[in-house]
Structure 1
Amino acid sequence: MAIYHLHVKVIGRKAGSSAVASAAYRSASRLRDERIERSHDFSAKRGVVHSEVMLPEDAPEAWSDRERLWNDVEA
């Protein structure tokens, strides 16, 4: 029987973290951080089996784009 595990971590600017960089790392993708004008490229990272953006029905359609979503979070 599989055992479910969830680990939650707060991403804070005070510690020098970026939600965009964290999202790029976790999804093994390349995302551009508009706030600091820097690209975070983790597309060569291995081990990510599946990654998707799941939104509630009433969420803006623009947020289905991972880069737009996390840049809006940073804003």
Structure 2
Amino acid sequence: MAIYHAQLKTFSRAKGHSSIAAAAYRAGLLLEDAITGLRHDYRRRDGVVETRCIAPEGAPDWALVPAELWSAAEAAERRKDSTVAREFEFALPHELDDIQRSELAVEVTRALVVSTPRN
């Protein structure tokens, strides 16, 4: 029996969130926050199967580099109560193999990136 799960999360400065810390954790990367100087090192984190950046067509090359993307997201928001990132979390069917789950995740993510209005 399939179990469905989808959740939208926001990361807000007012709550002390950092998009850089969140991205480093989720991707199992080392990312440094240029504003605070904090280094977020999750390279030893288990459970990260795959990570990639997906950007809309025509986006600059830096949008595909996690450190540059999340630094730009933090720098773009100036208010102390800004929402600096959003995360859409969804369950992938266990009936699919790893390759199929990866393809499905990319397909859903591309649909979200294309359908999200940008300024």
1:70 matches 2:67? no
Unaligned runs of 5+ in 1: none
Give the partner amino acid of 1:37: G
The equivalent residue for 2:9 is 9
Q: Deviations over 1:19-41 (max 9, x none)?
A: 00000011111101111111100
Which TM-score applies when normalising by structure 1? 0.89
**Quick one: distance in 1 between partners of 2:4 and 2:44?**
27
**Quick one: distance in 2 between partners of 1:21 and 1:6?**
22
Q: Deviations over 1:31-67 (max 9, x none)?
A: 0111111110011111111110011111111111100
* Cα distance, 1:4 vs structure 2: 5.0
The equivalent residue for 2:39 is 39
Secondary structure of the 2:24 match is helix
**Quick one: distance in 1 between partners of 2:40 and 2:70?**
12
Identity of aligned residues (%): 39
The equivalent residue for 1:61 is 61
Structure number with greater Rg is: 2
**How many equivalent pairs are there?**
75
The 1:3/1:58 distance shift into structure 2, 3 A limit, reads: farther
Of Structure 1 and Structure 2, which has the larger fraction of its residues in helix?
2
Which TM-score applies when normalising by structure 2? 0.58
> Which structure has more RCO (C-alpha within 8 Å, separation ≥ 6)?
2
The equivalent residue for 1:21 is 21
Superposed structure 1 runs of 4+ greater than 6 Å apart: none
Unaligned runs of 5+ in 2: 76-119
